[in-house]
């Protein structure tokens, strides 16, 4: 995509995050309930996720896991934006709005330890849970994503360009995937050892810290870290599969093209969108043109047939050579019989 397109993709993320921060700072000063008909404002501190989910789990596990989950989703967002094979501004903008809303709530959790909710909707006797603008914009992002998948699904997953098999070079791709996964696990191990040691030493340095308190804090931390590390490693393996396929796929296609060319089948090499080594298409075209030019008006299949006939003529003897070979074989057999008779007569005389 062009730079202008990337601005259209990133702008919803920044706008969603900024407008969410501004409205939450304003809502922090609300007192009581302010009614505006179908919509009302009231300050509510949400210690869980969206709409209060996970608010009943331990505080340390909740804050650390949800905040780190936001960072994990940010990484996933950029991976998806990179791997998407089509432009699709609605799809990419929807992902940006979704991530912007998530990061808005994550920012609250990092700064305040809770999320500021202040929007309440009323329809007759129904009253919605308290939410914020980030939650609303996330649903807008969901709508854009679903809309893009329905409208541009055939472009996103074209039948004529579908990937039948991602393992075109299993040995190379597995080595690539496991190398990328091992790198992720190594980074997770280093960061885990550092953060765990720092966290534990900090707890021990605090006054009135008992072993029970340490277990209460360190246990959820270890559990959360293991889950996030495994999820991150699985994501890296999946990303490695796609990236390695984009590298191994063109080589595999070019090898098939050469085999068809040797067999006398002229065709055009067409790589998939997003594949590496796109210059192979030009190389294949130049190779086909050069071969046609060298052969002239002769078709490659005819040329191969002539070569096969020539090999057959060279390997098969002529009629005169065949008769001569027959005479030689007959003379050889006659001489063998005479030698055998002579040896037998000598034995009888003795």
Bridge partners (DSSP) of residue 40 are 35, 120
Alpha-carbon distance values, 287 to 253, 260, 263, 290 (Å): 15, 13, 14, 5
177 within 8 A of 253, measured Cβ to Cβ: no
228 within 8 A of 187, measured Cβ to Cβ: no
What are the tens digits of pLDDT across the range 183-203?
Answer: 999 999 998 899 889 888 887
Please say if 135 is a catalytic residue: yes
What are the tens digits of pLDDT across the range 281-308?
Answer: 899 888 888 887 777 645 555 655 665 6
d(CA 77, CA 91): 12
What pLDDT band is residue 217 in, cutting at 50, 70 and 90? confident
Please say if 305 is a catalytic residue: no
CB burial of residue 31 (10 Å; 0-12, 13-18, 19+)? exposed
First-to-last C-alpha distance (Å) of the chain: 105
What are the tens digits of pLDDT across the range 88-124?
Answer: 888 899 999 999 998 898 888 878 878 899 999 888 7
List own/partner pairs for 331-335 with CB under 8 A and 24 or more apart.
none
Which pLDDT belongs to residue 151? 83
Lowest-pLDDT range, 42-46, 279-283, 333-337?
Answer: 333-337
Which pLDDT belongs to residue 16? 94
Lowest-pLDDT range, 24-28, 48-52, 140-144, 309-313?
Answer: 48-52
Q: Is the pTM of this model over 0.75?
A: no
The gap from C-alpha 249 to its chain's centroid, in whole angstroms, comes to 14
Out of 124, 135, 305, 344, which one is annotated catalytic? 135
Question: Tokens at residue 213, please?
Answer: 């308190």
13 within 8 A of 97, measured Cβ to Cβ: yes
Which pLDDT belongs to residue 344? 56
The gap from C-alpha 73 to its chain's centroid, in whole angstroms, comes to 15
Residue boundaries of the structural domains of the chain? 1-162, 166-323
Out of 20, 108, 117, 275, which one is annotated catalytic? 117
* Mean pLDDT to the nearest integer, 226-251: 89
d(CA 102, CA 206): 33
d(CA 21, CA 259): 60
221 within 8 A of 199, measured Cβ to Cβ: yes
Kindly tell me if the per-residue pLDDT of 8 is higher than 90: no
Which pLDDT belongs to residue 200? 84
Question: What is the residue-averaged pLDDT of the chain?
Answer: 79
Which pLDDT belongs to residue 185? 92
Residue position matching structure tokens 């969901």:
142
In the chain, the percentage of residues whose pLDDT exceeds 70 is 74
Which pLDDT belongs to residue 51? 47
Kindly tell me if the per-residue pLDDT of 61 is higher than 70: no
**Residue with more model confidence, 227 or 345:** 227
In the chain, the percentage of residues whose pLDDT exceeds 90 is 19
Kindly tell me if the per-residue pLDDT of 35 is higher than 90: no
Question: Tokens at residue 248, please?
Answer: 């191994």
């Amino acid at each position: 995509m062009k730079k202008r397109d990337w601005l259209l993709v990133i702008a919803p993320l920044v706008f969603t995050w900024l407008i969410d921060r501004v409205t939450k700072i304003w809502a922090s000063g609300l007192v009581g309930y302010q009614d505006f008909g179908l919509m009302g404002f009231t300050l509510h501190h949400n210690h869980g996720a969206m709409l209060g989910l996970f608010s009943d789990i331990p505080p340390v596990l909740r804050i650390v896991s949800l905040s780190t989950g936001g960072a994990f989703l940010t990484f996933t967002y950029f991976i998806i934006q990179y791997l998407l094979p089509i432009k699709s501004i609605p799809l990419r903008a929807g992902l940006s709005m979704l991530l912007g809303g998530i990061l808005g709530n994550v920012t609250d959790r990092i700064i305040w330890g809770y999320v500021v909710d202040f929007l309440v909707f009323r329809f007759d006797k129904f009253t919605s849970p308290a939410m914020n603008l980030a939650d609303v914009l996330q649903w807008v992002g969901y709508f854009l994503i679903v809309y893009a998948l329905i409208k541009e699904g055939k472009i996103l997953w074209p039948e004529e360009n579908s990937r039948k098999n991602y393992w075109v070079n299993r040995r190379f791709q597995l080595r690539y995937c496991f190398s990328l996964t091992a790198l992720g696990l190594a980074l997770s191990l280093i960061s885990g050892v550092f953060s765990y040691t720092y966290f534990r030493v900090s707890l021990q340095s605090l006054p009135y810290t008992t072993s029970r308190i340490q277990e209460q804090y360190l246990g959820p931390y270890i559990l959360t870290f293991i889950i996030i590390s495994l999820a991150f490693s699985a994501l890296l393996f999946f990303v490695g599969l796609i990236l390695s396929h984009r590298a191994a796929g063109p080589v595999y296609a070019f090898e098939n093209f050469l085999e068809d060319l040797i067999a006398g089948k002229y065709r055009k090499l067409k790589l998939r969108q997003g594949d590496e080594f796109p210059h192979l298409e030009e190389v294949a075209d130049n190779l086909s043109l050069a071969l046609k030019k060298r052969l002239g008006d002769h078709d490659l299949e005819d040329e191969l047939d002539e070569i096969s006939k020539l090999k057959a003529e060279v390997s098969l003897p002529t009629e005169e050579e065949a008769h001569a070979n027959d005479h030689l074989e007959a003379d050889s057999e006659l001489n063998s019989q005479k030698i055998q008779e002579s040896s037998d007569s000598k034995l009888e005389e003795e």
